[in-house]
Chain A
């Protein structure tokens, strides 16, 4: 079927089976390989993207459900001139990314949290990223990275 949606602000039209996973459409049809697959069954959050502003696991979303939707992925996070966003910089400076495989999903979950007005409180941030597994960091510096941005003026 033909699906029309927006990906990182760009209009996109794709001819795909309705049950094709959004994750595969992003990675293989659109070559947006920043979104990762860690489990394929909604457990790890490595495939997290924003669907109309909400965090979803792209491995669980069939393409037939994204008609007309606004999708954002890690590739859309940087500033338009290519500079890292404040959130990305914070991860870079505070050690929020190690092996980096959870990072795109983690950033998207954090982005949604910040856009929803989330603050620097530890518990609230943990809640917001509870669906995103990281095996490298112990989460400490991820939480710090997000809190620093939530705390920053403006």
Chain B
């Protein structure tokens, strides 16, 4: 066994110029433009031609001459003392660099909410697949052999896998309104339920990946697949002790994120940068699917206990909710996820007496993190199950019950927020129910059930409804703390360029921003440029998360564009389009910077959890139809009608695409997506075993866009990305109930769970007096 010597500093800092990035030259002739003067057509996806011809450059497509390959050595224990690395003497280590915790020049933590997660384990391993060391080699063959020549020595420690058995709390929140205990005691009917939802993997089809290139100034430039360049940059600075200008982050084309590339890319980037520094060469750190599933963040599992009190006439009088989330081994974004889960747990229903308590606990499992919906899908599943069960118990239609319960303008939320404008719960509900012919189909399924009584049909058809709200933008004072900045510049020649850190990952960022600015300036979209997402070129407009991009960043960009137009038009006395070039010639280039200003409303108090939790809410309803195979328990989701209020729609095609894609992820969450754990390790950590819906599994999805504009921003947009994620699962489970008569309390509603529930129902029926 050999002891590790620190890498040769001189070699590590030897200047290596940014290598030229060879990108195959695209031959693209854009589709025929619109006839000038015709009504303005919707712009096509801006980066679409590159994506369709295979010339878009994702991180693994970059050709970086002289780059080495990086790999991560990971723990196989869930909890252990780390004793050291053993490097096989028989292996030729001369061509390999090894990086451990002692080689970290800065602080050994990943910059996030808490400083608890190490870049590399120094002493204590807290979860399976945790990074303990890094390797890089000039080619893959040597790297593979080197990985086999490393042994991680550990001494196992007792591990905690059940959040209910954990005594390490990451966060705790409570929201209270009215007198829950008195109201519950006075209620005519109290429905209770405990709901368990498991991990869900984002499963972006492009795995995590970063390429780190040493810079002449001793810093590093990192290219990669990511959502939030200004999360990655501080992480690099802290771990590698770099100045602002020494750490540059550049986004490559990103093949999906869904929250999975919100926080984890910081780890990949720091690892790649440490190796590049040690090797003195650029280093490619590209995960394969197995490593990606095994080690990256998932949606938080949660256990939600819920009591709902109603009067005989259906009036909602009390909600008492207790939430426990499993944070995994490190804090990551867990407090914010929990906070959103707590704030959404009442569902989109006005209730005078509410108590919602939530805690997030540590376990010795890989850390959980951001995933589309961010805590809300977990708690709103429980809220919707309760609503459907109350309707069932009272014998009223789930649509009618919701029409009575849903927030109306002027409604007051559990935090005391008065919902003044942009309240569209009733509208999305009615639109979805109408388009899906909910009541007619419900009558039909009820008639079928009656006709089939006593027989045992092979399949049963059912229809189900769910409704949700989703706070647009960051929770509470989040946007105020972020203080996002955007720039719209007028450059030589009079072309405007938008500078923002908002990332395109398929949702349409690159298309809607030029569209918004072009509309303000009286230009066509292709006359507006968009700066590359490169921290040396764009200001921090905040992370691309929380469905905030179209609303918050979009609002700032529109304001900046208006100011730019005013300045130019005031100086030239002519319309912007006709005078921008002259303006620049006479006055030089111009930069307009716009900084976030708080939206009107009551400030949120983080200590008491009162005030305006969100500047506005988006509203979503879904109606799902399913066929359940009564012999196998298998569910086929046939159709989903999704009506989503996203505020003013900027680009209907892109917005509908978000609704459809989110709906299918929710259907997967409801039916087949499940992580199985054993001793803190994910068992199904491959694509062959973690299943997501294929085109054959996918229902027909009809997206209906409802517009209830948000007055706080000039363009009226709210978010769209997360809404559909909140309603899909409870709608599917309600449809399963309509088909079979059984309630599935735990997600996913697997065939095993459905069969078990059916058997239980049969036994109950047999045991019941005739």
Contact = CB atoms under 8 A, between A and B. Distances in A.
A92 B657 contact: no
A102 B703 CA distance: 22
B3 interface: no
A101 B205 contact: yes
Interface string B37-55: 0000000110111111111
A22 to B, nearest CB: 15
A46 B660 contact: no
Nearest to B52: A88
A36 B694 contact: no
Nearest to A104: B54
Contact of A43 (B53, B61, B688): B688
Interface stretch (B72-80, B171-179, B252-260, B739-747): B252-260
A130 B694 contact: yes
A101 B206 contact: yes
A92 B52 contact: yes
B506 A99 contact: yes
Given A41-B688, A84-B49, A34 B54 contact: yes
What's the interface size class on A, roughly? 35 or more
Interface in B180-216: 202-207
B657 A141 contact: yes
Chain A interface, >50% SS class: loop
B61 A38 contact: no
A133 interface: yes
A37 B255 contact: no
A78 B54 CA distance: 10
A33 B694 contact: no
Nearest to B56: A100
Contact of B53 (A41, A44, A74): A74
Contacts of A74: 52-54
B27 A78 contact: yes
Contacts of A99: 204-206, 254-257, 505-506
Contacts of A138: 657, 660-664, 698, 701
Contacts of A44: 205, 289, 687
A33 B61 contact: yes
Given A31-B63, A101-B256, A140-B700, A92 B49 contact: yes
Interface in B1-44: 22, 24, 27-29, 31, 44
A77 B505 contact: no
A68 interface: no
Interface in B676-721: 686-688, 692, 694-696, 698, 700-701, 703
Contact of A82 (B28, B654, B687, B694): B28
B206 A95 contact: no
What's the interface size class on B, roughly? 35 or more
Contacts of A32: 24, 54
Contacts of B662: 138
Contact of B253 (A35, A75, A84, A100): A100
Given A38-B687, A130-B696, A139 B31 contact: no
Given A84-B31, A101-B58, A129-B695, A135 B204 contact: yes
A40 B48 CA distance: 25
A127 interface: yes
Interface string A18-45: 0000000001000111111111110110
Contact of A107 (B52, B206, B664): B52
A32 B63 CA distance: 11
A100 B51 contact: yes
Interface in A112-132: 122, 125-127, 129-132
A118 to B, nearest CB: 14
Nearest to A32: B54
B258 to A, nearest CB: 7
A75 B257 CA distance: 25
B645 interface: no
A92 B31 contact: yes
Contacts of A73: 54
A77 B55 CA distance: 12
10 contacts: A33-B58, A36-B58, A36-B206, A41-B687, A44-B205, A88-B53, A98-B506, A100-B56, A127-B696, A138-B662
Interface of B: 22, 24, 27-29, 31, 44-45, 47-58, 60-61, 63, 202-207, 253-258, 288-289, 505-508, 653-654, 656-657, 660-665, 686-688, 692, 694-696, 698, 700-701, 703
Given A40-B289, A81-B29, A92-B52, 10 more contacts: A41-B687, A44-B687, A92-B49, A95-B657, A97-B52, A126-B695, A126-B696, A132-B695, A136-B657, A137-B661
